[in-house]
Amino acid sequence: ARTHRVAAGDTLYAISRRYGVDIYTVAAVNRIDPPYTIRVGQQLRIPDRHRRTRARPEAAPGVATGTAAAPARAVTQAQPARTAKPAVPALDPGAKPKPVPRAPAARSQARFLWPLRGPVISRFGPKAGGLHNDGINIAASTGAPIVAAENGVVAYAGNELRGFGNLLLVRHAGGWTTAYAHSERLLVKRGDRVRKGDVIAHVGATGRVTRPQLHFELRRGTDAVDPLRFLAPVPAATG
């Protein structure tokens, strides 16, 4: 495996792009938690560009907190200015800041529930300018209810990650995780158990967006998958 020594001005995003490796794979291999702070002089392992790192299902994402002064200057990861639909961070197998209950078993083997009724304004996949949408974006009115796509446990609730605005990560049985970004208001907190269909947030325009919408992601381990492949038939859009 290759290594990279962090230099002044480096960000995890820029390093990942330089080596052609997914940023979340690099973060997982090096056990770097959101918001992806790296230090000048730090040695990073760079996995093969085709490698995919999966987190253990029971792992919970951690939010970096203050620690004793590091021997080298810290460099904080920032989202690129053009990224309007940032991806959700991968789960870090080593991150367990506090115990989180296990996710309850899925209610059924049926497809995931649509988290919001509204038109899909951006689909999963590559976009212009080298960007990539790791989920889908659904437009709706401010304050519209967002529901849990499946039974699960809230693994993250907050707004520390740039570009996401108010963000929820919900962990589900089988190593699945759903993400809900740009909310106006979060109605649940980390560690809460939620049931499929429970209202967990309200639509907003927080983060790096210009209109009310939900950015929704579905991940199997650390791999983002196209939510449209796993959601129930598209519901009618709201007016």
User: Is 42 among the domain residues?
Assistant: yes
Could you tell me where the beta strands, DSSP code E, fall in 68-196?
74-76, 120-122, 125-126, 132-133, 136-139, 145-147, 152-158, 166-172, 176-183, 185-186, 193-194
Could you tell me if 27 and 12 are in contact, meaning their C-beta atoms sit under 8 angstroms apart? Answer: yes
Of 221, 209, 223, 13, the closest CA to residue 122 belongs to 209
Domain that holds residue 9: 2-76
The one-letter code for the residue type at 171 is: R
What pLDDT, on the 0 to 100 scale, is given for residue 50? 56
| 170 in a structural domain | no
Number of domains in the chain: 1
CA-wise closest residue to 163 among 67, 43, 65, 23? 23
Q: Tell me, yes or no, whether 37 lies in a domain.
A: yes
| 23 domain residue, yes or no | yes
Question: Does residue 32 fall inside a structural domain?
Answer: yes
* Among the listed residues 199, 198, 205, 163, the one whose alpha carbon sits nearest the alpha carbon of residue 183: 205
Which residues make beta-bridge pairs with 133?
A: 125
Please report, for the domain that includes residue 22, its CATH number: 3.10.350.10
- The answer to whether position 14 is within a domain reads yes
Residue 201 covered by a domain: no
Q: Tell me the CA distances in angstroms from 48 to 17, 21, 51, one per residue in order.
A: 13, 7, 5
Say whether 172 sits in a helix, a strand or coil: strand
In the prediction, which pLDDT does 152 show? 94
Could you read off the pLDDT tens digit of each residue along the chain, which spans 239 residues?
689 998 887 878 778 878 888 777 888 888 887 656 788 899 999 988 655 443 333 333 333 223 233 333 344 443 433 433 444 443 333 444 445 555 555 555 568 999 999 999 999 988 887 788 899 999 999 999 999 999 999 999 999 887 899 999 999 998 899 999 999 999 999 999 999 999 999 999 999 899 999 999 999 887 889 999 999 876 544 43
10 Å CB burial of residue 83 (0-12, 13-18, 19+) is middle
Put simply, whether the predicted model's pTM sits higher than 0.75 gets the answer: no
Is residue 213 helix, strand or coil?
strand
The answer as to whether 35 is a domain residue is: yes
